[in-house]
Chains A and B, each alone.
Chain A
Amino acid sequence: MCTYILRRMVSAIAVMAMVGIFIFVLLRLAPGDPAAIMAGRNATAEAIAGIREQLGLNEPLPVQFMLWVSSMLHGDFGTSIFSGRPVFELVLQRLEPTLSLSLMTLALSVTLGVSLGVLAAWRAGGLLDRTLTLFATLGYSVPVFVVGYFLVYLLAIGAGWLPVQGYVQIENGLGGWFAHLVLPTVTLSLPYIALIARITRASMLEVLSEDYMRTAAAKGASAYAMLVHHALKNAGVPILTVVGLSFAYLIGGVVLTETVFNIPGVGRMVVDAVNSRDYPIIQSVLIMVSGLYVLINLAVDLAYTLIDPRIRY
């Protein structure tokens, strides 16, 4: 077990290193000079040369890469051009709204997605199943910002039940915080509920055809006990996998949702950075989020043994 954990961690570090090389090479080879972008449209040649020098862009590429990696290992993720503050600090400041939105989305979509998936598998082929499958296909076909504006028009502008946009920090009142997060959470959750429901249904159907399910039914187990105690537990691994893998997709959704609802989170910060040509922010958030993805999927891999004792390493 310990050797397995160790081996997985080493391979996660290897993937991280490769991610770093990838991002570095792609962004350096892309036509376009970060120094010229940061200097702005009307910059003089000297100003651009100054920024190039400051960023170390005149060094050979391998040297640049080593400098970049070593500063990240020391916790230095670059400095924002616009505000002159460390990017890491800026991210921490913006973390609360993004974390609130992501965790509420995760909670809502796992609860609803798994429940709907179990229901659909229970009544496979029936009307309920077909309706849910149709809604699942719809759910991941409508982009989050379209759903967002549709809900805003219907529930916020039309009915006036919920705030149109904005964010209230937790310490300024739990009610306001929650009210401002309802629409964004529902918006961002929709494709996830669809995805998780679909995987849950497929995974449940596989388990329901096992011999031990027939045994449980023969022993007189109730439908609830069969579905939840016997089947869902065994259907857990694919569900967990999809939750982990869809994290990369969640990030894109967070950026769009924060823009639609004007939430001052990390996603909004990236979009603002594009407009203010604050290139270090974009590059650093990209590498931080990729690192987080590797860590989350490492955790998911290790969690397999907890939910399924048959998996031994």
Chain B
Amino acid sequence: MLVLAGGGLLMLLVVLAVAAPLYAGDPEALDPFIRLQPPSGEHWLGTDNLGRDVLARTIYGARISLIVGLMSAFLAAIAGLTIGIIAGYLRSFDNLIMRVMDALMSIPTFLLAIALISLTGPGIGILIFAVALPETPSVSRLVRSVVLSVRERPYVQAAICGGARLPKVMLRHILPSTFAALMVQSATVCASAIMTEAGLSFLGVGVPPEIPSWGNMIASSRLYLATAPLTVLAPGVFLAITVLAVNLLGDGLRDLFDPRSRSR
């Protein structure tokens, strides 16, 4: 149920974002004569302070949020998976790796991203890195805990007794059992990445200001909240819906993989 609701909503947003050039109109088209217009037949959500169409910009904004959210989640999942499996299976590295992860967790995501991006300048690549890096420890901790419980199972022991080499034990026997937990955690990371990107862009240290992203739109329209509330609230509502869709998908996946958690 939750998986369908969250997944469906997310798919819809992805389709809307990918197909944007087919129907949405030009998000960059300026028209100083129609600044801060209320909604009309031509501009469904009105226009912003430079006379740009709010709906078109909001739809194009979904692209940035989805790209950054999905790429960060992917990156954090791959890094966390690798680190978690190594820490969980090769016990001699465990203590060191987990202490390093503890340290990484102590650095506040938001401030670290601000510091990194203020050094390099705004850009999507550095943004994805800055968002994914602090999310890696939570993924690796989770994967490690799964590996620790799976490695003692008879089928893994049997594979080792059967002469399977280390890489084969890890890839064939341990890796698949981490996928369920990994997918749930990736959804959480994705939701948090979308919020972090929007927050950083809102502060002016996210994606470059000329790209229409929800955080940038809210930042450039905030002074007009009283006269043209939709310029701020439209991207805000879309942002909230997107994060909600990802969170619902994550909750649904958790219920699906771990039915005991449903009552909790």
Contact = CB atoms under 8 A, between A and B. Distances in A.
B118 interface: yes
Interface in A239-279: 248-249, 251-252, 255-256, 259-260, 270-271, 273-275, 277, 279
B83 to A, nearest CB: 14
B247 interface: yes
Nearest to A277: B118
Contacts, number: 158
A265 B108 CA distance: 17
Interface in B34-93: none
Interface stretch (A22-30, A69-77, A89-97): A22-30
B25 interface: no
A176 interface: no
A206 B264 CA distance: 8
A31 interface: yes
Contacts of A260: 222
Interface string B84-121: 00000000000000011011111111111011101111
A125 interface: yes
A99 interface: no
Contacts of B202: 145, 256, 259
B191 interface: yes
A200 B225 CA distance: 37
A203 B13 CA distance: 35
A30 B120 CA distance: 7
Contacts of B204: 271, 274-275
B247 A251 contact: no
A138 B198 CA distance: 17
B229 interface: yes
Interface residues of A, number: 59
A149 B119 contact: no
B243 interface: yes
A10 interface: no
A26 B108 contact: no
B115 A282 contact: yes
Contacts of B195: 143
Given A141-B247, A146-B218, A256-B203, A286 B118 contact: no
B199 A252 contact: yes
Nearest to A152: B225
Contact of A142 (B106, B199, B243): B243
Interface stretch (B16-24, B150-158, B171-179, B233-241): B233-241
Contacts of A252: 108-111, 196, 199
A150 B196 CA distance: 19
Given A145-B199, A251-B108, A255-B203, A15 B99 contact: yes
Interface string B118-159: 111100001000000000000000000000000000000000
Interface string B190-216: 010001101100111100000000000
B248 interface: yes
Interface stretch (A42-50, A55-63, A288-296): A288-296
B100 A18 contact: yes
B15 interface: no
A211 B73 CA distance: 41
A252 B191 CA distance: 15
Given A137-B244, A137-B248, A145-B202, A270 B111 contact: yes
A149 B240 contact: no
A202 interface: yes
Contacts of A206: 264
Contact of A149 (B106, B126, B199, B232): B232
B226 interface: yes
Contacts of A125: 263
Given A19-B103, A251-B108, A149 B247 contact: no
Nearest to B240: A142
Nearest to A293: B106
Nearest to A254: B110
B111 A22 contact: no
Contact of A150 (B107, B205, B236, B243): B236
B56 to A, nearest CB: 20
9 contacts: A19-B106, A141-B240, A143-B239, A248-B107, A256-B202, A270-B114, A274-B118, A286-B111, A293-B107
Interface of B: 99-100, 102-112, 114-116, 118-121, 126, 191, 195-196, 198-199, 202-205, 218, 222, 225-226, 229, 232-233, 236-237, 239-240, 243-244, 247-248, 251, 263-264
